[in-house]
Structure 1
């Protein structure tokens, strides 16, 4: 068994606590309210996976908290720090933040996903949807101006309406589109040790969700290759809502429900991190076999966790309301028995972190 050392037992720092790396071939739910140390603690586990396994990590990171995962702390010395620094960790940035840009190709989305982006209904918008269904475009030669001109010059009213819709929604102006450049999907296919997608810098609020949809759809389309990957979704309530409102949100949630139900046998394993279980679609939450629980105060949330994760006692789950920062309950397949843990120190830099209150000099 490959052990991941994540911290020590409550009350005794001399007793290390380990997770079984092999059991990350199940879906994992990670929960903790704001200020519980959830982001820092998850980083500890991701570092251990990088150190002790060859399991590729794909991190959907809406707040840029893991963009420094390849940078070791000055205080981190020895073999572990050297090993982390030698791992193939690629960070893709959104918006104008610099670095390797996070791009996908509009033309490589499925027809259903393109329709979701364009808010097209196959019945209510039958003519435009039919144009989309039969349209062909070269992924390497995608130019918004050229595409709109071609559609309008066709003389077909359906194509003209589709061009107007694209222009009115300003979809073709998004920074997300590759327009012939390389895409994050190509990098993911290479299976680096970790691929971090910084989703927080896009100008349009739909872009992060379309980026996530493109990535998940791509992995699902190639599932028969059975190439393992741990899909880490931070602030997962933004991507896996129980009540999706838009067409893109519905498509994204449906894809995650499918991966949660069927992806395990293909090596598509989820790790969902969020503040509240009630904000995650129940058909995804119920498929999780591993639980990492940090401080949660809301009685409704505690009741939901106890109801879904029967392998941890109600009493153990209720204790989480009194956890200090960095304390957690681990239960499920990746640990021998429910265990209370004081999380260990990070090796790599945390990009996020709380903003401090400015104080006056004494």
Structure 2
């Protein structure tokens, strides 16, 4: 089955709108300002992909919006509820909640990523970088629980300096590291239908970025296997900025630029969701062939969208007048640019706005 019913034609509630599931083998850009219904509407499409296809999805979820994806709402049909119950959906949490924990293996990351994490420059910090470069030759020093002790015991000045750097940055104390337990990359290799990475509960601001980097570079390293996966990145501006500020952000952005440019032929397909297109690296945005646009008011953002997604014509400007749940879909996954009133979610929505406390009486 290739058709995904996502809602109805705006102003024509009897006419269903369908996306061509086969065309998610191109990168997709999903955009809408706060309050437009962007995350809820994205959930509608992800549910349909789960129900109507066999496409595995990796969902990078910074606000815990999709942690209830395995739970159907009471209003869902019995058929949809039964089908979703049989789908392998795994949710991994970053915070101290019940359920599976989100963990990555430090030793599995590339030297470039480790160097970014440790703020090492291959020229300015040549000696420490060289130690890092050759650490895989000394497997006895890779255990995160004993790494500092082993490096300092070596007596090598470069290893001692590297140990002090690691200790001072306190990176080995992060909750992210697996410490001998299972890692998220192992789960992704099993290709569940949906793997949700709840990134919002980590204590250090770099942890969610390093978690994302660990899985993205793992997928890229195994790209020649050509095992399709849809990589959904909510609030993508946090991971794919046009102006990365830190070494980790720079390496992460470079990895996403590479996937955007070359990933399609290997079955690595992006779905990027954000509030503003100008906050996404232009080399990633320009590679998107599908557009889902909800309410956007900023003239600069509308101009950027019109420039990148010329196939949508002048329909983009109407997004300024959209109300919540209304969207424009254009590109390869729909026959022609279409205004849509999004349908109802099948699964439980997490997150949502916090209500203003009101006085009773």
**Scaled by the length of structure 2, what TM-score is found?**
0.98
Structural mapping, 1:84-99, within 5 Å? 84-99=84-99
Secondary structure at the residue paired with 2:17? strand
- What residue is the counterpart of 2:311 in the other structure? 311
C-alpha distance 8-344 of structure 1, shift in aligned 2 (>3 A): same
1:71/1:62 CA distance change after superposition, 3 Å: same
Match of 1:288 in 2: 288
- 1:359 match: secondary structure: coil
Structure 2 unaligned residues grouped into runs of 5+: none
Runs (4+) off by over 4 Å: 137-141
Q: How does 1:168-317 map to 2 (within 5 A)?
A: 168-314=168-314, 316-317=315-316
Which residue is 2:154 aligned to? 154
Relative to structure 1, is the Cα distance of residues 157 and 141 closer, same or farther in structure 2, using a 3 angstrom cutoff?
A: closer
User: How many residue pairs get matched?
Assistant: 360
- Secondary structure class of the residue paired with 2:18: strand
Match of 1:361 in 2: 360
Unaligned 5+ runs, structure 1: none
Summarize the alignment of residues 59-74 of structure 1 with structure 2, pairs less than 5 Å apart: 59-74=59-74
Counterpart-to-counterpart distance in 1, 2:98 and 2:247: 30
Shift of 1:86: 1.4
Between 97-106 and 324-333, the greater mean CA deviation after superposition: 97-106
Give the whole-Å Cα distance in 1 for the aligned partners of 2:207 and 2:284. 23
After TM superposition, give the deviation of residue 92 of structure 1 in Å.
0.4
CA–CA distance in 2 between the matches of 1:8 and 1:283? 33
**Alignment deviations for residues 73-105 of structure 1 (CA, whole Å, 9 cap, x no partner):** 011122112111211000000032231010110
Q: Could you say what the CA RMSD is over the residues aligned between the two structures, in angstroms?
A: 1.2
The answer as to whether partners of 1:140 and 1:181 remain within 8 angstroms in 2 is no
Q: In structure 2, how many angstroms separate the alpha carbons of the residues matched to 1:177 and 1:19?
A: 39
SS at 1:90's partner residue? strand
| Residue equivalent to 2:332 | 333
Question: Counterpart of 1:34 in 2: which secondary structure?
Answer: coil
Partner-residue secondary structure (3-state), 1:288: coil
Asked if the contact 1:107–1:138 (Cα under 8 Å) also holds between the matched residues in 2, the reply is: no
Contact 1:97 1:201 (C-alpha < 8 Å) held by counterparts? no
Q: Structure 2 CA distance, aligned partners of 1:196 and 1:319?
A: 33
**1:139, distance to aligned residue in structure 2 (A):** 9.6
Post-superposition offset of 1:10: 0.8
| Structure 2 match to 1:350 | 349
In the aligned structure 2, how far is the partner of 1:304 from the partner of 1:295?
Answer: 14
**TM-score between the two structures when normalised by the length of structure 1:** 0.98
Inter-CA distance 4–139: structure 2 relative to 1 (3 Å threshold): farther
Q: Deviations over 1:119-169 (max 9, x none)?
A: 00000000000000111365997233x211111111111101100000000
Any idea what SS the aligned residue of 1:342 has? strand
- 2:29 matches 1:33: no
Match for residue 117 of structure 1?
117
Residues 22-45 of structure 1: CA deviation (Å, up to 9, x unaligned):
000000000000000000000000
